[in-house]
Amino acid sequence: MYMLDMQSVAKVFRTEQVTTHALRSLDLRVHEREFVAVTGPSGSGKSTFLNIAGLLETFTSGTYTLDGDDVSALDDNARSRLRNQKIGFIFQGFNLIPDLTLFDNVDVPLLYRGMPAGERRERIEGALERVGLGSRMKHYPNELSGGQQQRAAIARALAGSPRLLLADEPTGNLDSEMAQSVMELMEQINAAGTTIIMVTHDPLLAARAHRNVHIVDGQATNVMHDSTTSNNARAQHVHAPTA
């Protein structure tokens, strides 16, 4: 079974003036536990793909099966519920709430799930410790460096134990040292069993993923890259078809 299985997915944005075909018949399958990097030119549809994958946006036609569930026919409420249960999202701009502490930021998606306070506390502390911010729980986002803010955003995404972690240029606003630490953290999360799809413009980071998918003009193609390491995940996925 695939974690993500999209077939012929298209997305058309219509305004009064323009019609934009952001995705044209995109086919992509991602295995459980894969770490996929998505690259491609600006405006090619990467964020649109990720937003659809993360159930933040609907699509115009095609089919999308997420972890065995056909999401095409879900209404808004069912989509939100599924997103909250299965998906963690990390954005380029961190998207932390400025007047909440890190603890309370990480709490937001758990509150939404209606989880009891004791379990929430355990998950929040666990997630913040995992990203190296155990001593910063009462701090506010603007008291942290960019790399720390991004790690807090990763803790928020992790606290709910998502099956699929989606990251849209998570290192785009970070210097190279902070980008390294965020990338290492994502690799650890993947090694612990979470499937990751990461959009990046950085070819060095993309090369560290199991597989690269290139989106051009709203369509996805698989890109193979030479790899000196050949762990099982790679051997298993390098020949995986996109369609």
Give the pairing of strands 35-39 and 87-90.
unpaired
Residue 48's binding partner, choosing from Mg ion, ligand ATP, none, with beta-carbon cut-off 5 to 8 A by kind?
ligand ATP
Closer to ligand ATP at the Cβ: 42 or 232? 42
Cα atoms found within 13 Å of the Cα of residue 40, Cβ hemisphere only? 27
Q: Does the footprint of ligand ATP cover residue 83 (CB under 6 A)? A: no
Interface of this chain with Mg ion, residues 214 to 233, rule: CB under 5 A: none
Q: Among 26, 32, 36, 23, which residue's Cα sits nearest to residue 6?
A: 26
d(CA 236, CA 232): 6
CA 150 to chain centre: 13
Give the whole-angstrom CA distance, residue 220 versus residue 216: 7
CA–CA dist 179, 49 (Å, integer): 23
190 binds, among Mg ion, ligand ATP, none (CB under 5 to 8 A by kind): none
47 touching Mg ion, by CB under 5 A = yes
Q: 3-class DSSP state for residue 219?
A: strand
Of the residues 47, 105, 195, 212, which one makes contact with ligand ATP according to CB under 6 A: 47
Name the one range near Mg ion by CB under 5 A: 45-53, 69-77, 129-137, 149-157: 45-53
Nearest distance from C-beta of residue 229 to Mg ion, angstroms: 29
Closest-CA residue to 3 (of 30, 34, 41, 24):
30
Quick one: which segment of 46-54, 138-146, 151-159, 226-234 binds ligand ATP (CB under 6 A)? 46-54
Q: Is there binding between residue 93 and ligand ATP (CB under 6 A)?
A: no
- CB-nearer residue toward ligand ATP: 131 or 166: 166
Residues that bind ligand ATP (CB under 6 A): 13, 20, 22, 40, 42-48
